[in-house]
Structure 1
Amino acid sequence: MARLLPLVLCLTSLASAAADRERPSRAALQRALERHERSVVHVQGPRRAGPGVFIGAAGQVLTSVAPVGLGFTGLNATTVEHEGKSLPARVVMASEELQVAVLAAPEGTYPAAPVKLLKDGASLEGQWLVGVIPATRGKPARPMPAQARAAPQPFYDVALALPAGSPVFDAEGRLVAVVVKQHRRGCRVLPLGAVKVELAAMDTP
């Protein structure tokens, strides 16, 4: 658990107020794309594969629980592909309730995405968020904005076709949520504050 406390403190120190409700500008979309390209990795788990995102400079990766499952916590059961290398990764946390997992890549320095947490009592509902639609044949990856809608707590729905494990940014290019599943109207996302609470609980003796 030694690598959890610095991560929790980092997430806490970057908490800020809710973002502007104006539609993101072209510059904001480009900023989110650049952050996505630097911080997103490919996770290969024991069950399946999917995207993940660095949330800690020491190599902590946030992803969907789908590639990992619930029975591999504490084990080097996944790999993280970063800069053309396949790195072994330990499963730090896997939550069926939150539908996310946190992995730990080998010790090093990694391009973690800047993080923004909601203040207590704040909501993502109505906020403009930015996701990067994956590249397809003949089309490059592209950033797209959409407004968050209420969903069963602590989740929100966003009308973006993003795979589980994908990061979702605000207009400043800060990571605010992670996709936990796709559905026919877009995707469901989990704000990072819920992940912070879960990690803090794990780090408490």
Structure 2
Amino acid sequence: MKTRNLALIVILALVVLVGGCVGCGAVSFQKRGVALDENVKAKFANVQSEYQRRSDLIPNLVSTVKGEANFEQSTLENVIKARASATQVRVDPNDLTPEKLEQFQQAQGQLSQALGRLLVVTENYPNLRANDAFRGLQAQLEGTENRIKVARNDFNTAVQEYNTAIRTFPNNFYAGWFGFTPKQPFQADPGAERAPTVNFDTNNSK
């Protein structure tokens, strides 16, 4: 009888010990998971901020280009339309689904392509390329495109760290408890990854 009671005590002690370890592990993961999740959201907010910075530059760019006689109107209209579409796509970092991220990326990619075509066309207008205001806007766009690239890379790094954490054993076991699901990074596609070509050498246009 004593042996049986001792065995029960040992089993109960093991259950309590294991349960305690599981509980501590769950609490620890939950804290880390929240921190990683918040980091992803913050990095995506930075991405949106940089894209907004670019969007804010475009009206001045379009206004400057309009001052050039006989400039290709279809190219300008494509930029204006692409900007309008891109500014309408806003994504809540708290609801960053793969579908919404893809929609956001496509809209911004279309604007990148339209800007790229605009800057290529300006090669045919030496007077425009010699315009100080236009050159200043080019420089700002180039800097903004670089900032966008950095922000996107930071976001993808944060997503990778988060996804790795929730898929690693035993974290994958806890992740289901707390509702942590994998997140979608930015995909490398020509529309969103390629920055508009900015050429400051006006000698080729003379």
TM-score with structure 1 setting the length: 0.24
Structure with max Cα Rg: 2
Higher strand proportion, which one?
A: 1
TM-score, normalised via structure 2 length: 0.24
Higher relative contact order (CA 8 A, sep 6+): 2
